[in-house]
C-alpha cells in the first residue's frame, strides 16, 4: 500500500514532489498547457530530470537507464500526475516499448536511436470501422525479399512526426512461409505509405490516419516472426495499463485536493460548501473511490514486482482506476460549478484528458471481456 513503501521509494516520491513544485510548476507558468512546450523548456525539464535520476527510470540498463521496477514506476508516475503539470510528459526518457526484444539490425536501426531520443516510433494497430471501412484488416503478402502492405490504420498517435511506424498486419500464408499476425517496422516516407488525415483528440493528443497502398517493406523488418504479431504488440501491455492507472490515481489525488480546498473556503451563499451535508456526501464519494483505486493500483504493482502472471489484475486495474478518475473529475466539476467548465480551467482540461483514458490502450468493456476470459478460459486471475 502507498503507506508501506520502503525508504528508497518514499525518497523517490519526495524527490518527484519537490521536482514538480520547484521546477515544473514555475517553468510552465505562462505556457499553453495543451501545446508542445518550447524546446528550451523541454531541454531544461529533461536536464533536471536526469540530474534527479528520474529520466532513465523508463530506460533499460543496457542503454544507460536505471530500469525501475513496476512499484517504483507507479510511485513516480502517480506522484508526477498528482502535480498536474503540463510538463510531466517530458520527464521520463523514451522507453523501448514493443521494441524491447528487437535484436540485430533492428536493434541498431530502430531501438537504439529511440532510446537516445534521436528517432520516434508510432504504434499503428487500430483499424478503421464504420461506413467506408475496408472489409479486410491491413494485410501483407510476400514478394521476393519484401512484404507488400495494403490497408489503413485509423488512429496513430504521434504519426505526423514519427520516423517509423510499428504496424500490425496479417501476413498471407504462401509457399515460401506461414501466415499470421506480424509487427512490421515501416519507415515514414516509404513509397505507398500516406497520411490521409491528421487530427487531434479531446485531451490534446495529435494523431493520423495512415494508408498503405502496396507499400514494400523488407521482410527483415518483421519484429520477431510472422505469427508473433499480437504477442509482440501486447509485449508490454501490463506496464502500459498500470501506467495509465497510476496517472489516473495521480489525477484523482490532485482533484480531491482541489475540491477539498474549494469546499472549505467561504461561499457566496454564506459559510462553506463543505458545511452542507449534501456536499459532504458527494465529496466523500470522491475520497472513497480514490482510496479504493489506489489500494488496487499498489496491490497490482506489487504483484507485477514478483510475478509476470498479473495480466488480469493489470487489465482490471486499468479499467477501475480510469473509470474512478472519470467519476472523480466529473464529481469535482459538479461541486466546483460553472467556473470549472470555463475553457482553460484545470478541471476542464482534466475532464477532457480523463475521458480519453477509458478508450485509449484498450476500451473498458473490451478489457472486461479479457478479465472474464482470463479466468473462464485460462484459470488466471486473483480476487
Ligand X SMILES: Cc1cc2nc3c(=O)[nH]c(=O)nc-3n(C[C@H](O)[C@H](O)[C@H](O)COP(=O)(O)OP(=O)(O)OC[C@H]3O[C@@H](n4cnc5c(N)ncnc54)[C@H](O)[C@@H]3O)c2cc1C
273 vs 97: CA distance, rounded Å: 46
Number of C-beta neighbours around residue 35 at 10 A: 9
Quote the least distance from Cβ 166 to ligand X, whole Å. Answer: 9
Choices 139-147, 222-230, 329-337, 360-368 (CB under 6 A): range interacting with ligand X: 360-368
* Site string (320-359) toward ligand X, x via CB under 6 A: ------------------------------------x--x
Choices 89-97, 120-128, 172-180, 266-274 (CB under 6 A): range interacting with ligand X: 120-128
SS (H, E, C) 185-242: EEECCCCCEEEEEEEECCCCCEEEEEEEEEEEEEHHHEECCCCCHHHHHCCCHHHHHH
Choices 68-76, 95-103, 121-129, 313-321 (CB under 6 A): range interacting with ligand X: 121-129
Quote the least distance from Cβ 381 to ligand X, whole Å. Answer: 18
Eight-state DSSP code of residue 363: -
Q: Are 171 and 139 in contact (CB under 8 A)?
A: yes
133: contact with ligand X by CB under 6 A? no
Quote the least distance from Cβ 368 to ligand X, whole Å. Answer: 8
Of 66 and 201, the one with the shorter C-beta distance to ligand X is 201
Number of C-beta neighbours around residue 153 at 10 A: 25
Of 137 and 146, the one with the shorter C-beta distance to ligand X is 137
129: contact with ligand X by CB under 6 A? yes
234: contact with ligand X by CB under 6 A? no
Strand 193-200 with 180-187, pairing: unpaired
Give the interface size with ligand X as a residue count (CB under 6 A).
18
Q: Are 245 and 295 in contact (CB under 8 A)?
A: no
Quote the least distance from Cβ 31 to ligand X, whole Å. Answer: 21
Quote the least distance from Cβ 181 to ligand X, whole Å. Answer: 14
125: contact with ligand X by CB under 6 A? yes
> Which residues between 193 and 212 bind ligand X (CB under 6 A)?
201, 205
Quote the least distance from Cβ 164 to ligand X, whole Å. Answer: 13
Residue 224, CA distances (Å) to 103, 106, 143, 168, 233 in order: 9, 10, 19, 12, 11
57 vs 188: CA distance, rounded Å: 28
Cβ burial 302-332 (10 Å sphere, 16+ → b, else e): bbbeeeeebbbbbbbbbbbbbbbbbbbbebb
Residues making contact with ligand X (CB under 6 A): 123-126, 129, 155-157, 201, 205, 356, 359-360, 362-363, 365-366, 369
Amino acid at each position: 500500500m502507498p503507506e508501506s513503501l520502503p525508504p528508497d521509494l518514499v525518497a523517490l516520491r519526495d524527490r518527484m514532489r519537490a521536482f514538480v513544485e520547484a521546477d515544473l510548476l514555475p517553468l510552465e507558468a505562462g505556457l499553453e498547457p495543451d501545446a508542445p512546450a518550447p524546446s528550451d523548456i523541454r531541454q531544461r525539464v529533461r536536464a533536471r530530470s536526469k540530474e534527479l535520476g528520474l529520466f532513465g527510470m523508463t530506460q533499460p540498463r543496457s542503454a544507460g537507464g536505471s530500469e525501475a521496477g513496476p512499484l517504483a514506476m507507479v510511485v513516480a508516475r502517480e506522484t508526477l500526475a498528482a502535480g498536474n503539470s503540463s510538463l510531466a510528459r517530458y520527464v521520463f526518457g523514451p522507453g523501448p516499448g514493443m521494441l524491447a526484444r528487437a535484436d540485430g539490425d533492428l536493434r541498431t536501426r530502430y531501438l537504439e536511436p529511440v532510446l537516445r531520443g534521436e528517432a520516434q516510433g508510432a504504434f499503428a494497430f487500430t483499424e478503421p470501422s464504420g461506413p467506408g471501412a475496408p472489409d479486410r484488416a491491413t494485410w501483407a503478402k510476400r514478394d521476393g525479399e519484401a512484404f507488400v502492405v495494403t490497408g489503413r490504420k485509423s488512429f496513430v498517435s504521434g504519426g505526423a512526426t514519427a520516423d517509423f511506424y510499428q504496424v500490425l498486419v496479417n501476413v498471407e500464408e504462401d509457399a515460401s512461409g506461414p501466415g499470421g499476425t506480424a509487427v512490421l517496422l515501416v519507415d515514414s516516407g516509404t513509397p505507398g505509405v500516406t497520411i490521409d488525415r491528421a487530427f487531434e483528440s479531446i485531451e490534446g493528443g495529435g494523431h493520423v490516419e495512415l494508408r498503405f497502398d502496396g507499400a514494400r517493406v523488407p521482410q527483415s523488418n518483421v519484429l520477431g516472426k510472422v505469427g508473433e504479431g499480437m504477442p509482440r504488440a501486447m509485449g508490454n501491455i501490463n506496464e502500459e495499463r498500470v501506467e495509465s492507472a497510476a496517472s489516473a490515481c495521480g489525477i484523482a489525488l490532485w482533484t480531491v485536493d482541489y475540491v477539498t480546498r474549494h469546499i472549505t473556503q467561504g461561499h457566496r451563499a454564506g459559510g462553506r460548501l463543505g458545511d452542507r451535508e449534501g456536499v459532504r456526501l458527494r465529496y466523500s464519494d470522491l475520497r472513497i473511490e480514490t482510496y479504493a483505486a489506489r489500494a488496487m493500483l499498489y496491490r497490482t504493482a506489487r504483484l507485477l514486482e514478483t510475478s509476470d502472471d498479473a495480466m488480469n489484475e493489470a487489465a482490471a486495474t486499468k479499467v477501475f482506476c480510469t473509470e474512478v478518475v472519470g467519476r472523480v473529475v466529473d464529481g469535482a466539476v459538479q461541486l466546483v460549478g460553472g467556473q470549472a467548465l470555463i475553457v482553460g480551467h484545470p478541471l476542464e482540461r482534466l475532464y477532457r484528458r480523463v475521458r480519453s483514458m477509458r478508450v485509449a490502450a484498450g476500451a473498458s468493456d473490451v478489457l472486461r471481456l479479457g478479465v472474464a476470459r482470463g479466468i473462464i478460459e485460462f484459470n488466471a486471475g486473483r480476487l
